[in-house]
Amino acid sequence: MNIKYNVIKSKDSSVEEVKDFVSVEEPLEMNLKYKIDGKWITEHLSITMRTPGQDEDLISGFLFNERIVENFSEIENIEKIGEKVGDFNIQNKIVATISNTKNIGIGKIKKNFITNSSCGVCGKTSLETVEVIKKDKLNISFPKIPKKIILKYPELLINEQSEFSKTGSIHASSLIDENGNVISTKEDVGRHNALDKLIGFSHRKKLIDNNSQFIACSGRLNFELVQKGLMSNMGLMAGVGAPTSLAIDLAKRFGMTLLGFVKKNSFNIYTNKERVLF
């Protein structure tokens, strides 16, 4: 979703006023509805800044990635609530009704401990907290992704980004298979939102095949992005930017292959090179 703004552009010796596309950023209030002892409870979950659209995928992916639900069938209903507001006349509140409440406490605990990757003290706690939720390591034998497909993915990602070509200010996450087929791509002004949308949509449509697919992201890979990929048992994640130290530690601990600085002729492998076919 984008809008045109009047912009003054200076290039060389010329100055001109033009209309340019800008990505829309709006808050989304996410709420959770569940029943305890026969009583319905609606609880505020989170507020995220996002690109409007695919909000259902965003909240379902968020619930799954945070392990508040373990299976998408536990999400009984998702609906927009509240009035349409703002310049774009959209609803900025959403509520998901879930049937399984056993992980609500885990979600709260994890949110209290997993913090920004810039916090050096919290690194060990963050890694241990993921282990509370995910106890199994990934199978190192799959997927096997050819080098030529990895080198090709930045171009594939750009071709799939309908909004980036217009605004230049939006992130994307793609699900790509071993043959270079793009299964799905989701965009958002937030890197984490784009990945939540991708995972939410791909699980709902039953598109994920861990044996032959990997996740490609448009920016750098930090701890939270890798954690989201691990929750879907993705064996390989790649970014056009650099991974953070905590992202590398997390990928190494759970057996994920992590790639960074992917360009048309080069990339770095930070963990588990066995999944890359040279």
Give phi and psi for 118, each to the nearest 5: -80, -10
In this structure, are strands 171-177 and 182-188 parallel, antiparallel, or unpaired? antiparallel
Q: End-to-end CA distance of the chain: give it in Å, rounded.
A: 39
**What is the rounded distance in angstroms from the CA atom of residue 173 to the CA atom of residue 193?**
9
Of 25, 136, 41, 146, which Cα lies nearest the Cα of 86?
Answer: 25
Catalytically annotated residues: 119
In the Cβ-directed half-sphere of 90, how many Cα atoms lie within 13 Å?
18
On the 0-12 / 13-18 / 19+ scale of CB atoms within 10 A, 58 is buried
Using CA atoms, how far apart are residues 189 and 161, in angstroms rounded to an integer? 12
Q: How far is residue 32's CA from residue 13's CA, in Å, rounded to a whole number?
A: 55
CB 214 within 8 A of CB 52: no
- CA dist., res. 70 & res. 50, Å (int): 24
Q: Tell which phi-psi region holds residue 48, choosing left (phi > 0), alpha (psi between -120 and 50) or beta.
A: beta
